[in-house]
Structures are given as C-alpha cells and as structure tokens.
C-alpha cells in the first residue's frame, strides 16, 4: 500500500548525479524532506511506494524524458506537483505544450537554477501557486 509523504516531501530526479544531489541538499537545508532518483526508472520505482507532493525533474534523460516521467507520476500520484528543469528550456516548449494539451500542465525552468530561485519556486508550488502565465 502506498504511503503519502507529508506536504514538505520532494523528489528530485536528474541523471546528472551531482546536480540531483546538490538540489536535494539545498532543499534539505531549507527544511524539506528530499529524496533523489538518478533516472526516470528509479523515480517510478520510488513512486510505487511513496507520493511526494512535489517532483522536480530534468527533462532530457535517457530512456524516458522528464515530460513522460511527469505524466506517469501524475497517474501514480494524483495531485503531485511537477517542476521540470532543463539546460535546453527553449527547445522544450513543444514537449511541455504537448503535455498541456493532454491535461498535464508542468512548469519549466532553465538550468542553472539558483538556490534562491529554487526555494522560491518550491515554496510557491507547495502553496499551490501554479506559476503558469
């Protein structure tokens, strides 16, 4: 049976281990419960047993991109909030627009994201602010 994490639980997914670990460390220092996954497959495995309120995921990953992962995460954990990050955000507009068309609105940020921007965005998403234009 899936157990729900409290409201400050965040899953960070990035195939760049150093980046995932850094984002997770920033979140933990700010008082959040943060977990990391280094692939979409690992994230999906974690989501079988826990449902964080927020998932932060890289877009460009091998095997499954972040938009596909986000769509699967929404099926496994209805109500999960999603932040996508990419070093190629300008080229990701088509992917995120396609996700919106099927009812999966995700917010996209460019790498690098500063610790301040990360924490402000996370706080807004956890309050329920969508950040969408």
Domains of the chain in sequence order:
3-126 (3.40.50.2300)
Question: What distance in Å separates the CA atoms of residue 104 and residue 5, rounded to the nearest whole number?
Answer: 22
CB 35 within 8 A of CB 24: yes
DSSP state of 39: S
Encode pLDDT of 57-79 as tens digits: 998 899 898 888 998 998 898 88
Question: What distance in Å separates the CA atoms of residue 54 and residue 51, rounded to the nearest whole number?
Answer: 8
Encode pLDDT of 12-37 as tens digits: 999 999 999 999 999 999 999 999 99
Q: Which residues pair with 55 in a beta bridge?
A: 11, 82
Mean pLDDT of 99-122: 78
């Amino acid at each position: 049976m899936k157990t729900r994490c409290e409201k400050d639980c965040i899953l960070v997914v990035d195939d760049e281990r150093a980046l995932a670990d850094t984002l997770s460390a920033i979140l933990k220092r700010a008082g959040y419960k943060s977990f990391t996954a280094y692939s979409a497959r690992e994230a999906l495995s974690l989501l079988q047993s826990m449902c964080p309120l927020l998932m932060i995921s890289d877009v460009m990953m091998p095997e499954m991109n972040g938009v596909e992962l986000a769509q699967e995460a929404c099926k496994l954990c209805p109500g999960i909030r999603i932040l996508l990050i990419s070093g190629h955000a300008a080229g990701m507009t088509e992917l995120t627009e396609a996700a919106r068309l099927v009812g999966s609105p995700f917010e996209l940020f460019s790498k690098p994201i500063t610790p301040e921007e990360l924490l402000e965005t996370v706080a807004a998403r956890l309050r329920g602010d969508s950040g969408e234009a």
